[in-house]
């Protein structure tokens, strides 16, 4: 995980938002955290800035439940987007993960758990809270083992492998000596080939594939 992180946090409760921003500054030596309180502000910033992670409050103005998440995901499919919410029922958590959320962080979590969850997501993982891990839900999160016939170019396989390793778009560009816009183009084409709408869904779908 790189040191110069850029994170966007969206929550309409000023005290909660300030607490999240202060906590996330401790993730690395140079972390920039921006805070907003409305979905419109999130969508506006997504159009202007490349973030390494976006955290969305589920009940924030403009969200309309998970519809707001889908709007943000559509604007920036290559950025991991996680939900942070006081709602901890299993159906809501499952729906968010199934839609491609990179994680679901319950607001009652302590700071250490928040940091661990964010670090997991930044490393390419998907954070699912213990509230979702009841026996009747475990099978919903089993990763597929069969590799369907999907034609990926050598470059797409190379980039997908690096995404599995937890590299951000900027890190992929640096490692492959490519422009960031070129990497974004490859990832967009990759998502289309895999018939998914986000990096998170791409990881979940291909986690057991042989990419060599």
Clarify whether residues 159 and 136 are in a common domain: no
Cα-only R_g, the chain: 17
Clarify whether residues 47 and 112 are in a common domain: yes
CB burial of residue 177 (10 Å; 0-12, 13-18, 19+) = exposed
Q: How far apart are CA 53 and CA 169, in angstroms?
A: 11
How many structural domains are present in the chain?
2
Q: Is residue 145 part of a domain?
A: no
Clarify whether residues 25 and 128 are in a common domain: yes
Clarify whether residues 69 and 161 are in a common domain: no
Q: pTM value?
A: 0.72
Q: Is residue 146 part of a domain?
A: no
Clarify whether residues 19 and 74 are in a common domain: yes
Q: Is residue 120 part of a domain?
A: yes
pLDDT in tens, 115-161: 989 988 888 788 888 766 544 444 454 455 555 567 788 898 888 88
Clarify whether residues 91 and 130 are in a common domain: yes
Clarify whether residues 23 and 123 are in a common domain: yes
CATH number at residue 175: 1.10.10.10
Which of 43-47, 98-102, 169-173, 186-190 has the largest mean confidence?
43-47
Clarify whether residues 14 and 83 are in a common domain: yes
Q: What pLDDT sits at residue 147?
A: 56
| Host domain of residue 192 | 154-206
pLDDT in tens, 39-73: 999 999 999 998 999 999 999 999 998 999 999 99
Q: Which two tokens stand for residue 94?
A: 């499952």
Clarify whether residues 127 and 161 are in a common domain: no
Q: Is residue 103 part of a domain?
A: yes
């Amino acid at each position: 995980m790189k040191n110069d992180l850029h994170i966007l946090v969206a929550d309409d409760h000023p005290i909660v938002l300030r607490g999240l921003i202060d906590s996330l500054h401790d993730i690395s030596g140079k972390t920039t955290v921006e805070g907003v309180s409305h979905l419109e502000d999130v969508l506006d910033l997504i159009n202007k800035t490349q973030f390494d992670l976006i955290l969305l409050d589920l009940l924030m103005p403009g969200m309309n439940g998970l519809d707001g998440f889908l709007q943000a995901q559509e604007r920036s499919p290559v950025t991991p987007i996680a939900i942070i919410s006081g709602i901890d029922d299993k159906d809501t958590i499952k729906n968010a993960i199934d839609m491609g959320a990179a994680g679901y962080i319950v607001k009652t979590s302590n700071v250490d758990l928040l940091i661990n969850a964010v670090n997991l997501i930044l490393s390419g993982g998907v954070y699912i809270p213990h509230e979702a891990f009841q026996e009747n839900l475990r099978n919903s999160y089993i990763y597929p083992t069969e590799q369907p016939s999907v034609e990926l170019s050598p470059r797409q396989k190379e980039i997908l492998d690096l995404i599995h390793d937890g590299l951000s778009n900027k890190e992929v560009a640096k490692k492959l000596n490519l422009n960031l816009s070129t990497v974004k183009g490859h990832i967009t084409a990759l998502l289309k080939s895999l018939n998914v709408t986000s990096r998170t869904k791409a990881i979940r779908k291909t986690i057991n594939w042989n990419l060599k």
